Amino acid sequence: MYVLHYAPDNASLIVRLALEELAVPYRAVLVDRAARQQDSAAFRALNPAGLIPVLETPEGPSAETGAILLWLTETHGVLAPAPVHSDRGAFLKTLFFVANTLHSELRLVFYPEQYVGDDRGMQQRLHEAVTARLQRHYRLLDDLAAAQPGYFAASEPGVLDLYVAVTMRWAQLYARMGAGWFDGAAFPHLRAMAARLEGRDCVRAAQRAEGLGETPFTAPKPCRPPEGSALG
């Protein structure tokens, strides 16, 4: 059985959705961010970087959201093109774009003080520059969804759908300088993909586990989890 070390509405949500979509047994263990458990010796033994999520597997603990998703797709043979499939290269390019570029730049919007300090003017300039870039990133993904490749925004979801939908949720909720920069209606193909996901069992399970509300991607509200907190 897998063990998912998670905090509500953190990157672990993406891994939880993948595990639920795979319908594989797993146990979720809370990492209490309010108590800084991610800095504990026990958690650092699993991931020395102290970042959530960690997935304990038969091969040992794995960290980094994109790496965990890739491992799960290769291990279970679904939710992504197979290594020999002609779409594999395009899928990998998009997965790493989401993990390394989109997700990383969202952190600049969520935690500007970690990058430019407490100066509000500097934070605002960072917010404006990064959100302009993020708009372009989501436009690229919306165009890709419109093209309907088999590995993204298809009738049956894959890990890219789950990853992008969660980032859309965060973009509408957690920007430190205000979340009004993101309008899901501006990305109709992504919004349609997110709406389809909201009807799936994997999302319903995550809604119950993390208190995400009825429309966690298309009209999200702050989570009200039964345990833990989204923010430290």
* Residue 9 within a domain: no
* Residue 194 within a domain: yes
* CA angle, 28 then 99 then 138, to 5°: 115
Q: Is 180 exposed, middle or buried (0-12, 13-18, 19+ CB in 10 A)?
A: exposed
Q: Peptide bond before 220: cis, by omega within 30 degrees of 0?
A: no
- Sequence letter at residue 19: L
Contact 190, 143 (CB under 8 A): no
Full strand arrangement of the beta sheet holding 60-63: 26-30, 2-6, 54-57, 60-63
Calpha distance 182→194 (Å, rounded):
15
Tell me: the pLDDT tens digits for 40-98? 999 999 999 999 999 999 999 999 999 999 999 999 999 999 999 999 999 999 999 99
Number of structural domains the chain divides into: 1
* Residue 33 within a domain: no
19-45 average pLDDT score = 97
Q: Output DSSP code: residue 71.
A: H
**Domain extent for 195:** 88-199
* Residue 225 within a domain: no
Tell me: the pLDDT tens digits for 84-110? 999 999 999 999 999 999 999 999 999
* The total number of residues written for the chain in this structure: 232
Tell me: the pLDDT tens digits for 146-202? 998 999 999 999 999 999 999 999 999 998 887 789 999 999 999 999 999 999 999
Q: Output DSSP code: residue 77.
A: S
pLDDT for the residue numbered 65: 98
* Residue 232 within a domain: no
* Residue 183 within a domain: yes
Contact 70, 64 (CB under 8 A): no
Largest CA distance in the chain: 50
pLDDT for the residue numbered 232: 62
Residue 67: CB atoms within 10 Å: 13
User: Does the pLDDT at position 136 exceed 70?
Assistant: yes
Q: Output DSSP code: residue 179.
A: S
* Residue 22 within a domain: no
The number of CA neighbours under 13 Å toward the Cβ of 191 is: 12
Residue 41: CB atoms within 10 Å: 6
pTM of the model: 0.97
User: Does the pLDDT at position 229 exceed 90?
Assistant: no
Closest CA to 88 of 100, 99, 77: 77
Q: What is the domain-level CATH number for residue 144?
A: 1.20.1050.10
**SS3 of residue 189 by DSSP:** helix
* Residue 98 within a domain: yes
Average per-residue pLDDT in the chain? 96
Calpha distance 151→100 (Å, rounded):
19
